[in-house]
Structures are given as structure tokens and as C-alpha cells.
């Protein structure tokens, strides 16, 4: 049977994808298929500059009587948040993804969830912090302007995916969150599928509130610790005079320090108490290696004792905590052994660096605002699937 799926959900990222995917997976009336592989293939083809014929995806799926089949992956519309220099390739990635997904005869309808564009930019910036970044809001725009311009280019998405799908549908994640009764009514009507039961929505919402909270003001703390971890790793990497075995060990230890530190910072920012966060940057603590070791011990103990936390945080913690412990001990040991007075002074300077002033302000210049008003708001308003009141809020945020 051709087009066995009711629709393909292709994003946007940071617009309730995890929530929707959980709803569909828990709903016995739904069957879901993950199209991440198609998104990853599109990324590879875009990077490689592929110009030949794309392969036909063999999904091997059949519609089941009484079930709604939904295919989903936000990777079909965004990527390269970890590679800013490649963000100019996003339109090509989207074209590849649209071709791969559209030609496999899964569905003739593609769904994009959207949200207030300024809130989306803030959420994308927060995601970079969770992945180890440390940019201020203004630096985020400078570095990731291509991500903002291309992912929020709804006119471009409509044109690209409209080449391969009969219908390109936009719905508001803000309405899903704040006006659920209205949202699910529009969802059912526009997509021609039944809305999920309220009991399913309530159960997923309860989990989502605990597992996927915004960091809010803690973003500044996370950016500061990420920046410190990276600077200490760079200092360590530049130490001279290491013996052969020590230099060899450093390669492994630095990798563990960077990765373990990234996850430690993220999980503490997400789940630790305010008192714990303050203790990490205790201005009255000791200086030098003693202070560095103490800070690492505070992070280790706090991460190890986090409770309650979602199950996936517990499952990952054992391996990642080992990485952090090993990397931090290696850093302290080798910096203490091979670092000269200048290196130790630099370590103190890194650890005592003041936090950014107003780090969360995200200034949008006139050209970017005009681009979003035209390519995002005008396109969305023309679809008629988002309330005028919601659209007015989107325009006001960009005013």
C-alpha cells in the first residue's frame, strides 16, 4: 500500500518534538517509525556535495487496520548546531531530506511544528550550552546566524518540501502548550487523524516537565563552567616537557575531562540545587591546584548524589562520572607536575574569571528581524492553521 503513514513529522527541532514522539509512542492507536537515518543521510550527502541520484528508502512499512502510522524526525529539517561553519548547507540538507522522505511513498503530508521565533532562538542557544558551548546571546547570533536564518525560513521549507509532498502543514507548539484543547482539535482536523486521549497527554506532560525543563537563569552558570572547562583543557594541552608516557596519557585524559566536564556541567545546571551551583564558584575557596581539586570534588560529589532525576540521567551517570573523575584527576596531576608558575597563574585566572554581564540578551539586528517577519511570519500567517492571536504574539516578539 502506498502512503501508509498519515503524515511525516519533520521538525522543527526545539518545538516539542520529544513531547509529540512520546505521545505517539504511548498511544496504542498509533504506530511510529523513526526517520533519523534519513536525516543523517541527508546531512552526509549535503556535506559531500552529492549531485547524483539519491537512493530509494525502503521503509518496508504497511498500514495496520485501526492504527495511525506516523513517521518522525526533526533531523529532516535541521542540523549543524555543532558545526556553525556548515550551516550554509542547511537548505541543501533540507532538499536532500525532502527528496529521501518524499520519494519513499510514506505519506503525501509533512508536518512542521513551529513556535515564537525569539523563543526558538533562545532555546537553540540553550541547546548549544547543553552541548558544551559558552557563547553569550550576542555571540550565539554571530556564530549561528545561518542556523536561525535557514531553520526558521518557513517559506524555504514550504517550497522545498512542497516539491515532494502534496501538503506542507504548520502547527504551533505554543498553542499545543498553552491552548491544548484548541491545538488538538486543529491537529485532528487538518491532519485527518484522531487526537490522543487526555490520559496519555497528562502522563507524558508529567514526565516532560521533569525531564525537559528550560534552564532559565542557569544558562549563565552553565556557559561559565563550560568556558572554564575548555580553557583548563587548552592550558593542559599546551604544557611542555611531558615525558612520552605522560604525553600519551594526556591525550586520553583530556578527552575524558572535556566530555565528562560537559555532561557534569549540564546535569548540575539541570538538576542541582542553587546552593550547589554557588559552591562550584565559591569565591572564598582556596586558589591554585588546591582550589581546582576542591572544585572538581564538589562537582563529582554533587553529580553523584543528584536525586531525584529522570531515569536516563541515572543510566548515563555511571560511565560519564568515571570519565569526569579520571579526567579531572589527570588534569590536576599533570598541571601540578609539569606546569610552571605561569601555568599555575593562568589556572587561577581561568577559575577566577568573572561571569559575563547580561549574557542572556540576544540582540536581533534589523536585517534578521525583517527576514523572520517575511520568511517566518508572513508564510505562517498565509497557512491559516495558527490563530491570529498567536501570530500577533510572534510579530510582537520581533518588533
Q: What is the pLDDT of residue 62?
A: 67
| Arithmetic mean of pLDDT, 181-209 | 91
Query: In this prediction, what percent of the chain has a pLDDT beyond 90?
Result: 79
Query: In this prediction, what percent of the chain has a pLDDT beyond 70?
Result: 96
d(CA 236, CA 230): 10
Let me know if residue 391 belongs to a domain.
no
Mark whether 114 and 240 lie in a shared domain. Answer: no
Mark whether 39 and 151 lie in a shared domain. Answer: yes
Mark whether 227 and 120 lie in a shared domain. Answer: no
The per-residue pLDDT for range 345-372, each reduced to its tens digit, is 999 999 998 887 776 788 999 999 999 9
Q: How many domains does the chain have?
A: 2
d(CA 256, CA 252): 6
- pLDDT at residue 211 above 60? no
Contact (Cβ atoms closer than 8 angstroms) between residue 109 and residue 169: yes
Q: What is the pLDDT of residue 212?
A: 58
Domain termination residue (choose one: 214, 230, 261): 214
Let me know if residue 23 belongs to a domain.
yes
- pLDDT at residue 209 above 70? no
The per-residue pLDDT for range 68-124, each reduced to its tens digit, is 999 999 999 999 998 999 999 999 999 999 999 988 888 999 999 999 999 999 999
Contact (Cβ atoms closer than 8 angstroms) between residue 77 and residue 12: yes
Contact (Cβ atoms closer than 8 angstroms) between residue 249 and residue 237: no
Mark whether 347 and 246 lie in a shared domain. Answer: yes
| Arithmetic mean of pLDDT, 391-399 | 95
- This prediction has a pTM of 0.90
Using pLDDT thresholds of 50, 70 and 90, give the confidence band for residue 67.
Answer: confident
Q: What is the pLDDT of residue 1?
A: 47
Mark whether 91 and 186 lie in a shared domain. Answer: yes
Using pLDDT thresholds of 50, 70 and 90, give the confidence band for residue 280.
Answer: very high
Q: What is the pLDDT of residue 248?
A: 95
Nine cell digits for residue 295: 572544585
Let me know if residue 346 belongs to a domain.
yes
Domain termination residue (choose one: 173, 192, 214): 214
Mark whether 28 and 166 lie in a shared domain. Answer: yes
Mark whether 19 and 134 lie in a shared domain. Answer: yes
Let me know if residue 244 belongs to a domain.
yes
Let me know if residue 383 belongs to a domain.
no
The domain in which residue 325 lies consists of 218-352
Q: What is the pLDDT of residue 291?
A: 94
- CA distances 91 to 149, 156, 380, Å, are 10, 8, 18
Mark whether 173 and 310 lie in a shared domain. Answer: no
Mark whether 21 and 167 lie in a shared domain. Answer: yes
The per-residue pLDDT for range 313-334, each reduced to its tens digit, is 888 999 999 999 999 999 999 9
Let me know if residue 1 belongs to a domain.
no
Domain termination residue (choose one: 172, 197, 214): 214
Q: What is the pLDDT of residue 285?
A: 84
Let me know if residue 123 belongs to a domain.
yes
Average per-residue pLDDT in the chain? 92
d(CA 25, CA 271): 26
Which CATH number is 41's domain given? 3.40.50
- 115 versus 136: the higher-pLDDT residue is 115
Let me know if residue 124 belongs to a domain.
yes
Mark whether 147 and 276 lie in a shared domain. Answer: no
Mark whether 24 and 124 lie in a shared domain. Answer: yes
Amino acid at each position: 500500500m502506498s502512503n501508509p503513514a498519515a503524515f511525516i513529522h519533520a521538525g522543527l527541532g526545539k518545538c516539542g518534538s520529544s513531547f509529540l514522539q512520546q505521545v505517539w509512542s504511548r498511544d496504542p492507536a498509533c504506530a511510529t517509525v523513526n526517520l533519523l537515518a534519513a536525516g543523517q543521510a541527508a546531512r552526509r550527502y549535503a556535506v559531500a556535495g552529492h549531485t547524483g541520484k539519491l537512493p530509494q528508502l525502503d521503509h518496508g512499512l504497511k498500514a495496520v487496520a485501526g492504527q495511525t502510522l506516523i513517521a518522525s524526525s526533526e533531523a529532516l529539517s535541521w542540523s549543524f548546531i555543532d558545526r556553525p561553519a556548515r550551516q550554509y548547507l542547511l537548505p541543501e540538507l533540507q532538499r536532500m531530506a525532502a527528496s529521501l522522505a518524499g520519494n519513499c511513498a510514506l505519506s503525501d503530508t509533512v508536518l512542521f511544528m513551529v513556535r515564537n521565533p525569539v523563543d526558538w532562538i533562545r532555546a537553540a542557544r540553550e541547546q548549544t550550552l547543553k552541548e558544551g558551548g559558552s557563547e553569550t546571546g550576542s555571540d550565539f547570533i554571530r556564530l549561528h546566524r545561518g542556523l536561525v536564518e535557514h531553520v526558521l525560513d518557513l517559506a524555504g521549507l514550504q517550497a522545498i518540501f512542497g516539491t515532494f509532498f502534496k501538503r506542507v502543514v504548520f502547527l504551533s507548539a505554543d498553542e499545543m502548550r498553552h491552548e491544548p484543547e484548541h491545538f488538538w482539535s486543529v491537529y485532528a482536523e487538518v491532519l485527518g487523524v484522531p487526537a490522543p486521549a487526555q490520559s496519555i497527554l497528562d502522563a507524558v506532560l508529567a514526565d516532560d516537565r521533569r525531564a525537559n525543563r528550560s534552564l532559565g537563569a542557569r544558562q549563565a552558570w552553565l556557559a561559565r563552567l563550560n568556558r572554564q572547562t575548555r580553557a583548563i583543557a587548552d592550558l593542559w594541552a599546551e604544557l611542555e616537557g611531558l615525558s612520552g608516557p605522560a604525553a600519551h596519557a594526556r591525550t586520553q585524559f583530556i578527552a575524558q575531562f572535556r566530555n565528562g566536564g560537559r555532561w557534569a556541567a549540564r546535569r548540575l545546571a539541570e538538576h542541582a540545587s542553587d546552593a550547589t551551583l554557588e559552591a562550584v564558584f565559591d569565591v572564598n575557596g582556596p586558589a591554585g591546584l588546591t582550589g581546582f581539586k576542591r572544585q572538581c570534588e564538589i562537582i563529582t560529589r554533587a553529580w553523584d548524589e543528584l536525586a531525584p532525576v529522570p531515569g536516563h540521567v541515572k543510566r548515563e551517570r555511571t560511565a560519564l562520572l568515571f570519565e569526569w573523575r579520571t579526567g579531572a584527576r589527570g588534569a590536576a596531576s599533570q598541571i601540578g607536575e609539569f606546569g610552571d608558575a605561569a601555568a599555575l597563574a593562568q589556572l587561577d585566572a581561568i577559575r577566577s574569571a568573572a561571569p559575563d554581564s547580561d549574557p542572556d540578551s540576544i540582540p536581533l539586528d534589523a536585517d534578521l528581524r525583517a527576514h523572520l517577519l517575511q520568511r517566518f511570519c508572513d508564510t505562517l500567517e498565509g497557512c491559516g492553521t495558527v490563530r491570529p492571536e498567536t501570530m500577533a504574539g510572534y510579530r510582537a516578539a520581533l518588533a
